[in-house]
Structure 1
Amino acid sequence: MTDIHIRIADWQQDNAELRRIRETVFIAEQSVPPELEWDAEDAAAIHFLALDGDYAIGTARLLADGHIGRVSVLRDWRGLGVGDALLQAVIAEAERRDLKQQRLSAQVQATAFYERHGFTVISGEFLDAGIPHVDMLRESRG
């Protein structure tokens, strides 16, 4: 990780990069149907891009109700702390917006990652796009 940084993205201007990452991770790698990946929430969401220099390598989104989703990092950058930096940026923005609770639906295999960031499992396991998930919650301190 040399020049990794996170910034808030613009859904219109950064659409090609946001779509490229999500299509690669969710649609191509995880076989999520495109009609489940793209939804009406995207237009109003706050989107984040992780960049290595000028190259977009990860993304996430934050909804107005504090729901975090679409957290994804391209394969070649996984295990390098990019997901941690991305999630920290999303949490910081949620707290800046006074969203006392952040929620997400995590793939079961990723629950330990989210637990490191203060999330706790609040549901039983369920399938979303054919992938086992659990709902998780984080309460802001203070």
Structure 2
Amino acid sequence: MQASTMRGFWIEKQGTTAVEFAFVGPLFMLLMVGIVCFGGLFGIYFSVQELTSEAARAAVSGLTDAERQSIVQSFVVGNIGSYPLLDPKRVIAESRTTDSATRSYTVTVTYDASTSYVYSFAGLIPLPDPMIRRSAVVRQGGY
């Protein structure tokens, strides 16, 4: 009786899909969460870089460092709303003359992404530092 019961256990196929899903399902879900999180993170990185590059291009029109800093600040405040992944309260824009001889000018934007939905999964998947810092350098004429 014992042998026939064991033979029936190995022949019976009901429930195999549920057992297979129990093994594969959590890994699949973790993979999907990772894809969504890193996709969102890359979107934030690209948004910060684009905002920095555009602010640097706008700063070219300034004549002094103070005027360029003002242009960068007003550009970032005025245009950050067009980047849906960025929170305007978490951005810091800085600008300075990099080299007087080459008349190059650097704009740096720092963004704190720690409150983004991406970092709500920080305990589940490894994520990079939430402080994102991007710089863009432009030259002031004389090409």
**TM-score, with length taken from structure 2:** 0.22
Higher relative contact order (CA 8 A, sep 6+): 2
**Structure of higher CA gyration radius:** 2
**Larger proportion of strand:** 1
TM-score (ref. length: structure 1): 0.23
Higher helix share: 2
